[in-house]
Amino acid sequence: MPPLTVHHLQVSQSERIPWLCEELGIEYELKLYKRSPMLAPPEYKALHPAGSAPTIQDGELTLAESAACVEYICHKFGNGKLFVKPSAPNYADFLYWFHSANGTLQPGLSRGNMIKLSGIDVTKNQILTLFQERAMATVKMVDTRLKDNDYLAGDELTAADILSMWSFTDMRFWYPYSLEEYPNIQRYIKRISQREAYKKAMSKAEPDLKLALDIEPPKPFFAPS
Ligand SMILES: N[C@@H](CCC(=O)N[C@@H](CS)C(=O)NCC(=O)O)C(=O)O
């Protein structure tokens, strides 16, 4: 039995972790959980006080929060692979895109999703309109970055990409936006979705899902009643 257990909640940002493990070539046990109906089921919530996906376990340790899980696994099991060393010329680029992925990009889109689920007419509220504009401005920034770079930190895939990819793909089951205006993100998605590790991870984590890899978003996964 491998020491590392990855708890994946259906159609959630925890899909990042099996993908990471496949990129690192490490063994892990994958446990799958269905949503009930929108949030994580009680047995998932019981894993960690945060009750959020992803959650991983390594022996006695239980850890949540995507970036913490990614950093822990890369250093504990992957010899620091997919992290950029301080001596490398693209170190600051890596830090920026690694942290902005979950510090700005993902929270911005999540906020947009909450607003949408609440059913509020955003066009009638200046603050909410501002939130949504800001969220899409971060997507635009990524698109600009990817114009001359195959991956966020430069020529090679890093942990910054592992954290970011979800925001342009399956996140759109929750916050449906088109990629029409983001041609470089479209190419990025194509590039990553052809990686063996990505394909292998998604076939294990989301075996029944047609992934949101197209330009237009999929039908929402959950519609509030
Ligand atoms: N910043 C956190 C966010 C975690 C988060 O909100 N995860 C969502 C899945 S996308 C979740 O757990 N939703 C189910 C629930 O709240 O019950 C992270 O990156 O781990």
Domain boundary among 53, 77, 101: 77
196 three-class SS: helix
Shared domain check, 131 and 45? no
Residue 222 CB coordination number (10 Å): 13
Is 112's pLDDT higher than 90?
A: no
Task: Read off the pLDDT of each residue in 198-208 and give the average, rounded to a whole number.
Answer: 98
- Does any ligand 1 atom lie closer than 6 A to the CB of residue 95? no
What backbone torsions phi and psi does residue 90 show, to the nearest 5 degrees? -100, 20
pLDDT of res. 61: 98
Shared domain check, 187 and 100? yes
Shared domain check, 95 and 67? no
- Does any ligand 1 atom lie closer than 6 A to the CB of residue 150? no
> What is the H or E stretch that residue 111 is in?
helix 106-118
Is 206's pLDDT higher than 90?
A: yes
- Does any ligand 1 atom lie closer than 6 A to the CB of residue 13? yes
| CA-nearest residue, atom 16 of ligand 1 | 39
Task: Kindly write down the DSSP assignment for every residue of 53-107, as one continuous string.
Answer: S-EEEETTEEEESHHHHHHHHHHHHSTTTTS--TTSTTHHHHHHHHHHIIIIIHH
Residue 83 and residue 70: Cα distance in Å, rounded? 10
pLDDT of res. 204: 98
pLDDT of res. 114: 83
- Does any ligand 1 atom lie closer than 6 A to the CB of residue 55? no
Closest approach atom of ligand 1 to CA 54: 20
- Domain tally for the chain? 2
What average pLDDT does the structure give for the chain? Answer: 95
**Domain holding 34: CATH number?**
3.40.30.10
pLDDT of res. 119: 83
Question: Which two tokens mark 133?
Answer: 């504009």
Is 53's pLDDT higher than 80?
A: yes
pLDDT digits (tens, 9 = 90+) for 96-107: 999 999 999 999
pLDDT of res. 116: 78
pLDDT digits (tens, 9 = 90+) for 54-102: 999 999 999 999 999 999 999 999 999 999 999 999 999 999 999 999 9
- Does any ligand 1 atom lie closer than 6 A to the CB of residue 65? yes
Cβ atoms of residues 41 and 34 within 8 Å: yes
Shared domain check, 106 and 153? yes
pLDDT of res. 22: 98
Residue 130 and residue 202: Cα distance in Å, rounded? 34
**Structural domain range at position 24:** 4-77
pLDDT of res. 123: 85
- Does any ligand 1 atom lie closer than 6 A to the CB of residue 53? yes
CA distances from 111 to 106, 107, 116, 118, 143 (A): 9, 6, 9, 11, 20
Kindly give the distance from the C-alpha atom of residue 64 to the centroid of ligand 1, in angstroms, as a whole number: 9
Kindly give the distance from the C-alpha atom of residue 53 to the centroid of ligand 1, in angstroms, as a whole number: 5
pLDDT digits (tens, 9 = 90+) for 114-172: 887 788 888 888 988 888 899 999 999 999 999 999 999 999 999 999 999 999 999 99
Residue 216 and residue 195: Cα distance in Å, rounded? 22
Shared domain check, 96 and 70? no
Is 224's pLDDT higher than 80?
A: no
